Amino acid sequence: MIWQYQEKPVKKLPENTHGFIYGLKFTDGTMYIGKKQCISVSTIPALATGIVRKGAMRINKLVLKDENGRIIVSKKNKAAARKRGIKATRTAYDVTVKEAKWKNYESSSDDVKNHTLESKHILEYITDPKMLTYREEYYLFLYKVLEDPMYLNSCIGNRYWKFKEGVVT
């Protein structure tokens, strides 16, 4: 099944699209609203040979490594390492940006399992990752998905939940 945007099929995303807000409609009349990130960014340590991976961009980051050579991640451990006199070193990484598999996407939510999909609609294209989350929640509140039984969404931002007969689901 192909995505629709303003009643037209979508084969390619617009330039600089980070993701989109979508609506799914099911054969039983229920609906679901969600978001899909369309790009995947991976940061991988550079090859020992110094060769940049195909399709990647080389960046250098300042990182702290412990006595065994492992990168220190937590703020608490970073503070302790600095007290021990460990200094940050530049480490090379290859960054790749790929298009995610959005064309066949039909939601990762458990809320839509056991429902037969009728149509997939893109409501809005988003260019910024933070705006993607904001606009998803905007649509969820706009359509009152927690109040309307026709929507399968069970929560908003893992903070607001749908109630059934006085009990949180």
Domain contains 161 = no
Average pLDDT in the chain:
87
Cα pseudo-dihedral 101, 106, 112, 113, rounded to 10: -80
Residues 25 and 105 in one domain: yes
Per DSSP, the three-state class of 131 is helix
Domains in the chain: how many in total? 2
| pLDDT > 80? residue 97 | yes
Flag whether pLDDT at 98 surpasses 90.
Answer: no
Q: How many CB atoms lie within 10 A of CB 79?
A: 11
Same domain for 84 and 10 = no
Range of the domain at 82: 41-97
pTM of the model: 0.72
Determine, yes or no, domain membership for 14: yes
pLDDT grade, residue 144 (50/70/90)? very high
Q: Which amino acid is at 119?
A: S
Q: Is residue 155 part of a domain?
A: no
